[in-house]
Structure 1
Amino acid sequence: MGKVNDMERKVTKFGNSLGITMTDALKQIGLELGDTVQIDVNQANGEIIIKKAHKIHLPEGISPDFFENLNDVIHEYDRTLKELKDR
């Protein structure tokens, strides 16, 4: 598929939410109904970046919240881990 340029859409109401339609753009990056996306919002320049989320298949015995818990621990001990790295 070719690149879609200069897409302009109006914000509309979908139930209680605001949204836009952009089926052609989503198809170009391989998104289909039910896929998960990652949304990055840059308030400073008014950009919203939508990326196809990459599913991680965890080994048996690893719970789905493992990475969330790991991220919490890394954030909590960030300074300590950085100091250990520099030893």
Structure 2
Amino acid sequence: MERKVAKFGNSLGVTMTDALKKIGLDQGDLVQIEVNESTGEIILKRSARIQLPEGIDQAFMNSLAEAISQYDQTLERLKDR
């Protein structure tokens, strides 16, 4: 499978819907990203699904994930201060 790198807002990315579906991933799922700079490889792995603590619903987690995604670069910069 070959894809072209495209610009999405301020980010670069590739579409891979079919590949993600093959490993059971869908919108909103979490993945682990490993980067091997020496080989030029990027590895995506499905994160282990966790049970939400009592009192925290999926809608809250979806809103939180959206906010983190929207402000990802800002949060990264704050982390390094």
TM-based fold match above 0.5: yes
Report sequence identity in percent. 70
TM-score of the two chains, using structure 2 as the length reference: 0.61
1:25 matched to 2:19: yes
Residues 6-45 of structure 1 mapped to structure 2, 5 A cutoff = 7-45=1-39
Q: d(CA) in 2 for partners of 1:15 and 1:59?
A: 34
> Aligned in 2, Cα 1:58/1:14: closer, same or farther, shift over 3 Å?
closer
Q: Secondary structure at the match of 1:54?
A: coil
TM-score of the two chains, using structure 1 as the length reference: 0.57
Q: What are structure 1's unaligned runs of at least 5 residues?
A: 1-6, 61-87
Q: What are structure 2's unaligned runs of at least 5 residues?
A: 55-81
Equivalent AA in structure 2 for residue 18 of structure 1: L
Q: d(CA) in 1 for partners of 2:26 and 2:7?
A: 21
As a proportion of its length, which structure holds more helix?
Answer: 2
Larger Rg: 1
Runs of at least 4 residues off by over 6 Å: none
> Aligned in 2, Cα 1:18/1:54: closer, same or farther, shift over 3 Å?
same
CA RMSD, aligned part only?
1.6
